[in-house]
Every structure is written in structure tokens, then in C-alpha cells.
A and B are shown apart, each in its own frame.
Chain A
């Protein structure tokens, strides 16, 4: 029997599509059971239909796939490999440390004030308690030792007493009285008087206290100039007082 007739082909397709019923269907099924070649022909149609259905399903999912990928791009999944996990941990520790250090620096930066730097480095000048028996204590020295800073300033202002020492004591007295502008004038006078002198009196002290006064009046460039000079001179009386930290803090104040 020739199963390749157009009629038989069409009949098989109709059977595939469920379009034949009753006796016709039964006859075909009997033929299929008895004829391996016909069954093979029918199987070929089944496989063809299966390929269409599989393609249809794939197309359906593909049409939704991109839409869903776009929707879920908001939170893409990241791989975590062992090495990356270690790296991530290390980075998070580093980040925490950085945050702590950064936070500390930021805290220091924003809470830093000229008052703070001044207070951390200022100590009232103390007159030496040992005296040469051949010299007598001056009025400014006496008043300063007694803590009578107003009197020291008055004596120097009234020119009742002049000279480097009186100017210096007037300067430190002004600092004690929170009059930093006057203090700056007094210390500058000390430095001027010492210029060209064979023996400089209280020059190192005046420089240090002048620098502190400049910090208080926010003249940081002048302060830094003096501080650098002190820092670079190991023989300076206040060399060890001017620390790197102090210089760094004044530089930070400059950028506030």
C-alpha cells in the first residue's frame, strides 16, 4: 500500500489535529497499528508539531524574559566568590577603620578652635624665683608676681618703666587679661628692641607668646611663621613646646 498519497498525508494531518472521528478514526488507528511505515510517517508529523510547540513556548518565555530582566535590574544579583568574599570583608574592615579615622579627623577638624589650641599650649609666664642679690625687683616684676596684671600694663603704658623686660611682662599680663592685641604690640616691641642687640633678652619667650597671641587673634600665617622658626631651631627655649601636632592644628584652623 502506498501511504504517500496526498490523501493519506492529509488524513494523517487531520488525525494529528483531532479532526477525524468515528469509523474513519478507528480505521486509521488500525492501519497505523498494522503498518510500521505509516506509523513512522505519523511520528514524523508528531515530531514536527512538537517542534512548533517547543518553539512557541520558548518565544513566549523569551518575550517575558527581557521585561523581567529589566524589572529586576534594580537589584542585580552579585556573585560572591571566596576571594571576593575575603576581599569584601577586608574592604569592609578597611572602610570601617577609614570611617573611624575619617570620623576622628572630621571631629577634630570641626571641633578645633583657636581657643582650644591656645589653651592646650598656653601656660602663664612664670618669673624666676631666684634672684641675683645685686639686683632689685622692678615694679612690673613685683606687680606681675602679685598677679596684678592691670598694674603691670599701667606701669608700662605710662612709661614709668621701659625696656625689654617691662614690655614683655606687659605682654604676658595683657594675655592674662585677654587683651591679645596689646599683647601682640608688646611682644613685637620686645623683638624690635632685641634686634641688633648683642645679648637678646626674653626673645625666645616673646616669640612663643607672640605666636600664641596670633593664634588667638586668628592671624594664623604670622603664628605659623614664628612656630616654624621655633621648630627649626633646636636651641630655641620653646623648641620642644612647638610640636608637629600644634603646627598641624594651626594649619587646619587656617582651612576652617
Chain B
């Protein structure tokens, strides 16, 4: 049976930064914050599905910011997540063409007016350009499975060439290295063919 444990804010941040116990840490974020954040969305014209989608996006952006050392503990994780959640949702409502001011009714109750506006500029940037980010995800997803696997193992999981060799059917490290190079260049070419994504990626890189 899985042991469910709670982490302090500091433990969460350390784990996310160091890529340690990621599954357990992400689950802890869901258990601690999903209910509060989805409450906000569902009481501001959102559906259960909206709440789930936005939360997933918020968690991705939060971890991304932590990894880039953009979350420095100036507010609690709860407050920070709430800000990301709120701005993501308000952007989505804007996109849907609703009167945002009219929609936001019950934000005050749980978090209070002061806390909800305490978001760092980096955070604002992080949630901007949702469509651009979605397009990037779609682009990477369009890569062949082998390319995706090698690139993810190397650049996301930080595995060495030798470890990747063990995880694949290639004959030797050089073959893996060559394949990885080709895959990287292929993806680069796909991105270059969509100049509109460049700004999104730049923001992502420097947020």
C-alpha cells in the first residue's frame, strides 16, 4: 500500500528542484491543493473539467518555475498556486469572451483579497501564452516514438548515453548519440518552421 505523506513547502521545493521523488511530490501537491483551487474555478463559471485541466496546467507551470529557481518562497506554495490558478483561469475566461469582472465572485472567501493578487511578474509570464505552449507540446508529441524516447531520457530524465543504451535496443553508445543528434535537429527544424512559437519558447526559457 502506498504511504501518503505530506511535505513541508521547503521539502516540496527541494524535491522538485532536485527531481527527487517526483511522483510522490506531485501527488502531495494534488492532495493538498486541488480541492481549494478547483473550488475557485467551479465557483467562477468553470466546470469540473475546467478545474481539472487548469490545475494540471498550474502544476506543470509551478514545477517549471521551481526548477528554474523562480519560486523563492516569498509566498506560501498555496498562495502562489492560487495566483497561478486564478490568472490561468481568468485568461481562459477572457479567451472565451466572458466578462471577467462579473465572473469572479467568490475568490475572497478562502484566500482573501490581499493574497490572491500577490503574484510575481515571473508567475504572470509563466501562465501567459497558453496557446503557444499547447502548440509546442503538440509539436513534440508529433515526433516519432523513438525520437521522443531518446530525447526525453536524455534531456528530461538526464540519463547518460550508457543508461539510454541499456534502455533501448541500439548496438552501442555512438549509435544512440547519432540518433539523439538527428532527433534533436529534426525537432529544431520543426520549431524553426513555426516562427510564431519562438517567442513562446523564449519566454519559457527565460521565465
> Which residues of A are in contact with B by a Cβ distance under 8 Å?
9-10, 13, 17, 44-62, 64-65, 67-69, 72, 75-82
Contact = CB atoms under 8 A, between A and B. Distances in A.
B165 interface: no
Given A46-B205, A54-B64, A54-B136, A60 B26 contact: yes
A62 B27 CA distance: 11
A61 B63 contact: yes
A51 B51 contact: no
Contacts of B105: 82
B8 interface: no
Majority secondary structure, A binding face: helix
Given A49-B184, A52-B151, A64-B26, 11 more contacts: A47-B191, A47-B202, A49-B155, A51-B139, A53-B155, A54-B133, A54-B204, A61-B59, A64-B23, A79-B43, A80-B106
9 contacts: A13-B181, A47-B205, A51-B201, A54-B133, A55-B136, A55-B148, A68-B30, A68-B34, A82-B105
Interface in B56-114: 56, 59-60, 63-64, 67, 105-106
Given A51-B136, A54-B136, A61-B26, A77 B51 contact: yes
B145 interface: no
B19 to A, nearest CB: 10
B175 interface: no
Interface of B: 22-23, 26-27, 30-31, 34-35, 38-39, 42-43, 46, 48, 51-52, 56, 59-60, 63-64, 67, 105-106, 133, 136-137, 139-141, 148, 151-152, 154-157, 181, 184-185, 187-188, 191-192, 198, 201-202, 204-205
Nearest to A56: B156
B34 A72 contact: yes
B63 A77 contact: no
Nearest to B185: A9
Nearest to A47: B201
B35 A77 contact: yes
Contact of B56 (A50, A65, A75, A76): A65
Nearest to B53: A65
B48 A76 contact: yes
A56 B155 contact: yes
A50 B187 CA distance: 11
A77 B30 contact: no
Given A44-B191, A77-B51, A53 B156 contact: yes
A13 B202 contact: no
B10 to A, nearest CB: 21
B48 A10 contact: no
A44 B25 CA distance: 32
A51 B151 CA distance: 10
Contacts of B148: 55
A60 B33 CA distance: 18
A49 B191 CA distance: 11
A246 to B, nearest CB: 53
Contacts of B46: 79
B30 A48 contact: no
A128 B22 CA distance: 98
Nearest to B51: A77
